[in-house]
Amino acid sequence: MAKQGNNLKNAKRSGLQPRMPKKPVGGFQSWMVVGLVIAVISLFFFSKESTLQPITIKQFESMLIQKEVEKVVIVNDKIVEVSLKPAYIPKYFKKNTTQKLVPATQVPHFEFEINSKESFERFLEDRQKTFPRNEQIMASPETRTGPLDWLGTWGFFILMGLSFYFLFFRMGGGAGGGGQIFNIGRSRATLIEGESKVKITFNDVAGLDEAKEEIQEIVEFLKFPKKFTDLGGKIPKGALLVGPPGTGKTLLAKAVAGEAGVPFFSLSGSDFVEMFVGVGAARVRDLFKQAKEKAPCIIFIDEIDAVGRSRGRGSMPGGNDERENTLNSLLVEMDGFATDSGIIIMAATNRPDVLDPALLRPGRFDRQISIDKPDIIGREAIFKVHLKPLKLAADTDPKELAAQTPGFAGAEIANVCNEAALIAARRSKTAVDMNDFQEAMDRVIGGLEKKNKLISPEEKKIVAFHEAGHAIAGWFLEHANPLVKVSIVPRGVAALGYAQYLPKEQFLYRTEQLMDEMCVTLGGRAAEEIVFGKISTGAQNDLERITKLAYSMVTIYGMNDKLGNISYYDSKGSEYQFNKPYSETTAREIDEEVRKIIKEAYDRTKKLLKSKQDKLTILAEQLLQKEVLFQSDLEALVGPRPFEQLTSYQEFIKGETEKKRKDAKDERDLAEEKKNAPKKPVAVKKAPAKKPAASKEVAAKPRVRKPKSTGTDS
């Protein structure tokens, strides 16, 4: 209790209101429903329990003939209840027996079922023909309603009432306020403030230096607004994080929530979407109402493309589009007539091309921060962050790992580190080494290794020559990416083998580079035709890639002499939605040129592999024996690569080494210049002569001022 009191005092001093535990929502209603269910079950079971002893109609006939029956009642035309005369009760209900003892005052005593009331009345009349009229017993009918009868009558209406209750009154339960029907329009945003603060900071975000700088400026504006407002600056209205999946957009938003020091509302774009008309717009208004009460604050909308898609696209004419109404409400709240300051909107999407232009304009999203996949330097920084919690071997080098993962996003790098740790733990290692990381990369790129997959020797031979064709073509083509590994071990869903290359970090590709890449991709199909004289379906993925690449060269990049410098690519994807931007004649020419490019690359690949067929055979036979070959094995089998080309890792290391050498040389040159610089003469200033003193006692000697240091090395 003392500790809790101290926490409350500290929270008051820091200006943060402690978040008290919430009471369970809808507790009374839940207990009411549970009680109703128990009551129904109790009625169902206990209503069947009866104190009457069941008998057969033969036993009743015997009692009737012996004149032991006093009264007969027909209940609901189905059951007959029999009451005995008091003198005959001990005959059937005795003490010290297993039967129940029914007191003489409790009637009726027995019961049995009948088929119909009329047949039973005829039965009574027939059995009492010989009885005097005053001794004959008449059956008296009686209608009774029990709990189950009442439930059968009103149960349907109760069930319908409960259905409506859970449909309408409970749908807004996640929005707070007891889940009443009027809370269906309440915002579902998660509020992060005070004790619920996120623990992630900007130190946990690596490889996004430019984006971090932009976001940190917004956080700094919230913490120290006077620094910017003194110069006339205004707080930014919003920041849109744009980038491919897994690049760290949400992670950056979490870092903002951890360091901003202001209330942070987090929700998804799909939280505004609802089946009822007007609910999305109502939730937008409620979100901004809560934000204005907490201002200054930040609102983060993840996957904003769910609600911010361009208006008019994909909607039926004349229809009421709920998503458009929600977007209109969001646009007005972000920058409308009665817009209040102090609220910063952050959003993330990987599809900026589908967003409405009105949402992207300055005043709503002042900053569009692009978050791309990291380069080798960014990947090294990301690896260092994810390697911190791992127990690493001495040979683990983040630079080498970064060079071997080109095109990886931050999420994929985190997955590689986690897979490497799991692989090392599976093998009972004490530390994670580079071999574990290599296997983790193979698993992330190619999928799970399937060593037990049954492949016939003939198919295995085809796969070996197919992959050897890729390797030989890439080894003897100048602009092809350097080979890392070639394997015939099945991986993933359909891959029976693969050749792994290390792409160079570059953004521009020339025609000869694309043609060499196309030849490497066709190396597998060409090797099959050369060796076996037949082709297989194993090149399906290769043919798909080269077809897309050839069409891109002709229709997008303008790398065809016949069609010229023309690009039919629309980056916005809106203008050429229904009709092609070229005629049928041009389409025929495009198909012919694509076919011509692919044939030229295929003939070139076949010519290369025929000249290196002996090396192709050697490599394929070694693959059949070892199943996996590395770059060093390839050099030993077919000789060194005839082209000197540094890998990304080698260029990275070489660039760092040259930079260090240049910095060291500059420091030595600067020191040498300082050492050889001519010394400046020191000027000695004499003090002006003073007037003679009035007396000898006060006469003073002239003083010489000491020269100041000029900064020249002695």
Q: Which residues are catalytic?
A: 467
What the block records as the tokens of 42 is: 């109790």
For tokens 């009471």, name the residue: 23
Any idea of the CA torsion for 567, 568, 573, 578, to the nearest 10 degrees?
Answer: 170
CA separation for the pair 212, 249 (Å, rounded): 11
Residue 73 backbone phi and psi in degrees, to 5: -125, 130
Q: 242-260 b/e with 16+ CB inside 10 Å = b?
A: bbeebbbbbbbbbbbbbbb
CA separation for the pair 444, 459 (Å, rounded): 25
CA separation for the pair 599, 581 (Å, rounded): 26
For residue 353, give every residue at least 6 positions away whose Cβ sits within 8 Å of its Cβ, in sequence order, or none.
571, 572, 573
Classify residue 287 as exposed, middle or buried by CB count within 10 Å of its CB (0-12, 13-18, 19+).
buried
CB of 309 closer than 8 Å to CB of 268: no
CA separation for the pair 244, 411 (Å, rounded): 11
For residue 714, give every residue at least 6 positions away whose Cβ sits within 8 Å of its Cβ, in sequence order, or none.
none
E strand map for 43-199: 53-54, 69-75, 79-84, 110-113, 140-142, 190-192
DSSP assignment of 136-149, as one string?
A: ---PEEE----HHH
Say which amino acid occupies 648: S
For tokens 């799970």, name the residue: 448
Classify residue 23 as exposed, middle or buried by CB count within 10 Å of its CB (0-12, 13-18, 19+).
exposed
How much is the CA Rg of the chain, to the nearest whole Å? 44
Question: What is the greatest pairwise CA distance in the chain?
Answer: 175
Classify residue 42 as exposed, middle or buried by CB count within 10 Å of its CB (0-12, 13-18, 19+).
exposed
Say which amino acid occupies 484: V
DSSP assignment of 695-708, as one string?
A: SGGG------PPPP
CB of 442 closer than 8 Å to CB of 420: no
For tokens 């050492």, name the residue: 675
Residue 541 backbone phi and psi in degrees, to 5: -65, -35
Task: Reply yes or no: is the peptide bond before residue 108 cis, omega within 30 of 0.
Answer: yes
DSSP assignment of 537-570, as one string?
A: GGGHHHHHHHHHHHHHHHHTS---TTT-S-----
Q: 165-188 b/e with 16+ CB inside 10 Å = b?
A: eeeebbbbbebeebbbeebbbbbb
For residue 300, give every residue at least 6 positions away whose Cβ sits within 8 Å of its Cβ, in sequence order, or none.
253, 256, 257, 264, 265, 266, 267, 346, 347, 348
Give the Å distances, CA to CA, from 467 to 450, 474, 487. Answer: 17, 11, 7
For residue 361, give every residue at least 6 positions away whose Cβ sits within 8 Å of its Cβ, in sequence order, or none.
none
